[in-house]
Structure 1
Amino acid sequence: MPDARRDFRPDLYRSLGSLAVTLLIMAVLLFGAAGTVDWAAAWRYLALFVVVIAIAIAYLWRVDPELFAVRRRPQAGSKSWDFAYVAVTVAAFALILPVAGLDFRFDWLQAPAPLVWLGYLLFIAGFWITSWAQGVNRHFELTVRIQTDRGHKVIDTGPYAVIRHPGYVGGLALGLGTALALGSLAAVIPVLICCITLALRTLAEEATLEAELSGYAEYMQRVRFRWIPGLW
């Protein structure tokens, strides 16, 4: 593994550089929409984001450094229909921040303190679930594709032993946690857009995997639920 980490170190550095740019964009979206930098909830959220993502990066670097290479961009063989889902999801997630800023600025639908604390818990839980899913699933990539170049096989360990799409569940928990941690009920609206988009993407992805990935149909019989045990 030390040699593997050395091979993927440039990808780690590029990922860290992209993260720095992302943090700057997040700050602009938040404080630009709020019209002020005097917003304690936003500063707390950004600080929490840095801490949690640093832990996630350290964990993923330890368990599978190759992820930093394959997840940086869409890989060859990605399904063309998936790019629309990715674009809408990314845009909706990004929209959470300026909507929360405008909510703070104009006092539309501010969340009460208990929901803010719930937001912190959901945010941390979302990062944990998503990181865990990535850590056990070396085929966790940005877009849907059958990874014949990487020996694609069904993953049924970790969170995948309970639900079939833990990454989506973690991502939605992260998004909802972001809205609530920033004290904004209005920012839940983009999260709902994400939820609908990811639900449709789940169905399309499963149709692809069932048809093209050996063993996935049997996996669907063993693990019955996509997102929420007992519900869906």
Structure 2
Amino acid sequence: MTPSAIAWIWLVALALVMGALIFGAAGDLRFWQGWAFLAVFFAASALITQYLIANDPALLQRRVKGGPTEETEPAQRLIMVFMSFGFVALIVLPGLDHRFGWSQPPAIVALIGDALIAVGFFVVFLVFKANSFASSTVGVAEGQSLVSTGPYAVVRHPMYAGALIYLLGIPLALGSYWGLAAPALMTPILIWRLVDEERVLDERLPGYSDYRRKVHYRLLPGVY
């Protein structure tokens, strides 16, 4: 099976699983925030997938191999297990919030959340345009070279920065303040991942140590 077919099958399967988790937790198919979120999330995902199919199939092949079992570093396998559970909580908590009425933000909050998701995915898209080796696993591939242009000239881990933006947007898009507990817990795990990734890159990617000295911030310019 081709990487493009695998990518589309994976995307459809993910949509079905996420939809089941959201509406199962919410207990309400009229949960409009859930439908709007799924539309934004998977429209962005589909556009990026189609871009990679057309312009960078090698990167697409790297991206379809992800998750705890694909990681070669022991710490990264553990990190990805935690992140997987965190992502489930990210969409289940807002569904439960809707079911039990723990918080009731105005509709504008959901729209802001959808906008944050779109912005986060756009940042990830810029990363893919700049770096054909932006794999979903931590490591250095054969022939990989240092990238220091585009978003990498601003922060050292722009893909994680984009991910944090849409992780923050997800509970808001689903109309939940309580759901913000999930990205709050996932953020230190993501920072653990990128710090450990920098250790690997320092050891295996020529020029990375010099790059770290030139680009001071990991995620947010002027902050961290």
TM norm structure 1: 0.90
1:213 aligned partner = 205
* Match status 1:46 vs 2:38: yes
Q: Secondary structure at the match of 2:168?
A: helix
Structure 1: which 5+ residue stretches go unaligned? 1-8
The one of 155, 173, 177 aligned to 1:181: 173
1:107 aligned partner = 101
Deviation per CA, 1:11-47, whole angstroms, max 9, x where unpaired?
1011100111100001110010011212111111112
The one-letter code sitting in structure 1 at the alignment partner of 2:22 is L
Q: Percent identity?
A: 32
1:137 aligned partner = 131
Please report how far the alpha carbon of residue 138 of structure 1 lies from its aligned counterpart in structure 2 after TM superposition: 1.5
Q: Residues 210 and 217 of structure 1 are in contact (CA less than 8 Å); yes or no, is this contact kept in structure 2?
A: yes
The one of 2, 5, 18 aligned to 1:26: 18
Structure 2: which 5+ residue stretches go unaligned? none
* Match status 1:71 vs 2:63: yes
Q: Residues 31 and 37 of structure 1 are in contact (CA less than 8 Å); yes or no, is this contact kept in structure 2?
A: yes
Q: Residues 63 and 135 of structure 1 are in contact (CA less than 8 Å); yes or no, is this contact kept in structure 2?
A: no
Please report how far the alpha carbon of residue 115 of structure 1 lies from its aligned counterpart in structure 2 after TM superposition: 2.5
The one-letter code sitting in structure 2 at the alignment partner of 1:83 is R
Structure 1 residue runs of 4 or more that deviate by more than 4 Å after TM superposition: 74-77
Q: Which moved more, 1:57-66 or 1:97-106?
A: 57-66
Q: How many residues align?
A: 222
2:75 aligned partner = 81
1:230 aligned partner = 222
1:4 aligned partner = none
Q: Residues 26 and 97 of structure 1 are in contact (CA less than 8 Å); yes or no, is this contact kept in structure 2?
A: yes
Deviation per CA, 1:42-75, whole angstroms, max 9, x where unpaired?
1111122232222222222233111221222259
Please report how far the alpha carbon of residue 76 of structure 1 lies from its aligned counterpart in structure 2 after TM superposition: 7.7
Q: Which moved more, 1:132-141 or 1:153-162?
A: 132-141
* Distance in 2 between residues matched to 1:154 and 1:80, nearest whole Å: 24
Q: Residues 130 and 166 of structure 1 are in contact (CA less than 8 Å); yes or no, is this contact kept in structure 2?
A: yes
RMSD: 1.7
Please report how far the alpha carbon of residue 212 of structure 1 lies from its aligned counterpart in structure 2 after TM superposition: 2.4
The one-letter code sitting in structure 1 at the alignment partner of 2:52 is L
TM norm structure 2: 0.93
* Distance in 1 between residues matched to 2:159 and 2:84, nearest whole Å: 14
Please report how far the alpha carbon of residue 132 of structure 1 lies from its aligned counterpart in structure 2 after TM superposition: 1.5
Please report how far the alpha carbon of residue 207 of structure 1 lies from its aligned counterpart in structure 2 after TM superposition: 1.8
Deviation per CA, 1:155-177, whole angstroms, max 9, x where unpaired?
11111111000111111111111
The one-letter code sitting in structure 2 at the alignment partner of 1:120 is D
